[in-house]
Structure 1
Amino acid sequence: MTRGMMTPVREAEQDRFTVETERFRRELLVHCYRMVGSAHDAEDLVQETYLRAWRSYAGFEGRASVRSWLYRIATNVCLTALERRGKRVLPSDLGGPHDGPDRPPVQVAPGEVSWLEPLPDRWVAPATDDPAEAVVARESLRLALVASLQHLPARQRAILILREVLAFSANETAAVLGTTTAAVKSGLQRARARLHELAPEPGELLEPADERARALLDGYIAAFERADAGMLERVLRTDATLEATPFREWYAGRVRCVHLLDEYVLGVPGDWRMIATTANGQPAAAVYHRRRAHGIVVLDATVTGVSRVVEFHDPSLVALFGFPDVLPVRTNLRG
């Protein structure tokens, strides 16, 4: 039913629904992203969440807070979606670094793997006034952690996010998932143990606003735009890793990374253009090849250089980050 076909009572109810629920849309979007590892999917799942919420709004009756009610719907929408497909991964989840013959990396056949996607920082709700909560929220979106979350069973993933990131109580989490408090506590223990095996130690990465992080990003961008392998050597750490979807191989060590890029990727000055941005609370850039959208690159910036480069070769992500599909001949655009 369109708004023009609604009765005045139903229109008033929709207005009230919008007022009560819209302020949670951005945090629900981030929640769905943590659950499924895809910005595109998260958009669709939030849309489904609000559709289901509107359909059941008349019977809601305030038995729980609006926020908890929406999270219950969103979490269960995500769990249903996760039943239909496998987890999203990065190339480094498929095996060890490439140590075979020197050749261009091999693309994975379309549909064979579901790839993790980056999240635009502009989608994230404004920072909380509590610095400790802001740190938890930011670190919970780091690319490496989101990748690790995808290896947890879906319900354990939901328990961990609800309890550790969103600070829901065990009782609230049990209500969201339709289970018992004991099951939540047990699931959280198992999720913590598994994540400890998978996730890197937090706290090493520089914030995107840090001058040192921006200098590293600017150096990486300049190296590509000038096709200068020497500049890449100065930006990357000796133990840097490089991976890119949809390629199966990934590379460890600055020497191997720079050789691969110099031999098969950099081309000539002007082939590549990049626009600085942020993703997953990290320095990032929208990537263009010969002025056409190519993908998004995300850097792990540390005090000693870039320790990890992940490039997502997916032109649709560039638009998702709010950038044009094609760049003009010359631009100083910065995001």
Structure 2
Amino acid sequence: MTDDRLPGDEAAFIAAARSNDPAPFTLVTERYRRELQVHCYRMLANYEDAQDMTQETFLRAWNKRESFKGHAALRTWLYRIATNACLDFLEKRNDRTPVPAELPGAGWEVRYLQPYPDRMLPEDPQDSVVARETIELAFIVAVQHLPPRQRAVFIVRDVLGWPASKAADTLELTVPSVTSALQRARVTMREQLPGHRLDWRSPATHELSDDERGVVRSYMDAHERNDLDALTALLRDDLRFAMLPGSGALIVTARDAVDGWVSGGLFRRGHDDWRCIATTVNRMPAAALYLRTPGDPEHRLYTIAVLRIVDGKIAELTGFDAAGTPWLGLPATL
């Protein structure tokens, strides 16, 4: 196939590679940045690491630009580089696997888990890239229980929807080994995901419902009024709660959850002046909680609470300690 018969991006990339000019190279590859970053995030469960590995992907692509001949789609070639960058990263780190939680009954902790800001998702996404079912926190945590190469197989096959032959070529495996790895990965995912969320290949959903938005408003209002009864009423009695970095996921009653927050100092004098901002991360409703302590003229970012809402109540609450860490493009103070 000659260059003038290649699809647009592939032909443009080869022309950029031959010119040795980084400007047209960047112009062609930059459009893939956001979806590659989501891919790296699924592999690594950490937003900052995903940013680093996406940048590493483009650096490797530039260094290997002359090896691209257009036999595979440019997008596939970049995904291969991104996947290998993540696998190399994981091979060098011994702190990127789930560990037993310190609290009895809390299961496992993914201490490096970070939320993913929706504003950084692809603006014109393919459903397979940002399907809500495959970017929610519970799904991302479950993926971390897979060995790295099995994780890669699962993501390209069951999340991106690639055929076994394409996955095998991308990961430099045989088709039978890809099929075997995928079968093992599906078993682990079903063991790790809550029982009501086993179909990660269901039709994609993107937008929050009016019900979800209403619960977030009520959750923020209860915080700002220090209304513990209203807060308790918003929580399911089988609440799945985790605070990161820290304890693993616990199943607690609504009253026990609120009592635990109070015994930890929240809503008491000095920790009772709240302001909140509604946001979304991982295609999930979330609230950024800002606390003003005595003597401080400003409310400072304290916690990001990511919520999963079922039938008008909060079924899962994952809190991220955000003190001193202005994540997700949120203001550090109000």
User: TM-score of the superposition, structure 2-length normalised?
Assistant: 0.82
Query: CA RMSD for the aligned pairs?
Result: 2.9
- Residue 41 of structure 1 pairs with residue 40 of structure 2: no
- The aligned counterpart of 1:313 is 321
Any conservation in 2 of the 1:241–1:257 contact (CA below 8 Å)? no
- Distance in 2 (CA, whole Å) between partners of 1:239 and 1:310 is 14
Q: Is the 8 A contact 2:128 2:159 kept in 1?
A: no
Distance 1:214 1:90 in 2: 34
Q: Are residues 78 and 135 of structure 1, via their aligned partners in 2, closer, same or farther at CA, if it must alter by over 3 Å? A: closer
Q: For 1:125-170, what per-residue CA distance to the aligned partner results, in whole angstroms no more than 9, with x for missing partners?
A: 13557xxx36972210011011000001111111011011111121
How far 1:271 sits from its partner (Å)? 2.1
> Would the alpha carbon gap of residues 207 and 225 (structure 1) be closer, same or farther in structure 2, given more than 3 Å must change?
farther
Q: Which residue of 2 aligns with 1:246?
A: 245
Give the drift of 1:114: 3.2
Structure 1 residues 316, 80: closer, same or farther in 2, change over 3 A? Answer: farther
* More off after superposition, 276-285 vs 247-256: 247-256
How many residue pairs match? The answer is: 302
1:324 Cα deviation after fit: 1.5
Q: CA deviation at 1:247?
A: 2.6
Q: Secondary structure at the match of 1:299?
A: strand
Alignment correspondent of 2:281? 279
Which of 306, 324, 331 lines up with 2:331 in the alignment? 324
After superposition, the Cα gap between the structure-2 partners of 1:236 and 1:135, relative to the gap in structure 1 and judged at 3 Å, is: farther
**Alpha-carbon distance, 1:20 to partner:** 2.4
Tell me: higher relative CO, structure 1 or 2? Use CA pairs within 8 A at least 6 residues apart: 1
Deviation at 1:248, TM superposition (A): 2.5
2-structure distance, mates of 1:199, 1:280: 16
Compare 135-144 and 25-34 and name the one that shifted more. 135-144
Shift of 1:59: 2.7
Which of 163, 175, 181 lines up with 1:181 in the alignment? Answer: 175
3-state SS of the aligned residue for 1:167?
coil
Percent identity over paired residues: 39
In structure 1, distance between residues paired with 2:166 and 2:68: 17
Contact 1:72 1:176 in 2 (8 A): yes
Q: What's the CA shift for 1:241?
A: 2.7
Amino acid corresponding to residue 290 of structure 2 in structure 1: Y
Mapping of residues 157-196 of structure 1, within 5 Å:
157-196=151-190
Equivalent position to 1:143, from 127, 137, 144: 137
**Offset of 1:94 from its aligned partner?**
6.7
Equivalent-residue separation in structure 2 for 1:65 and 1:308 (angstroms):
40
Instruction: Give, in angstroms, the shift of residue 296 of structure 1.
Output: 1.6
The 1:47/1:182 distance shift into structure 2, 3 A limit, reads same
Which segments of 5 or more consecutive residues in structure 2 lack a partner in the other structure? Answer: 1-15, 293-298
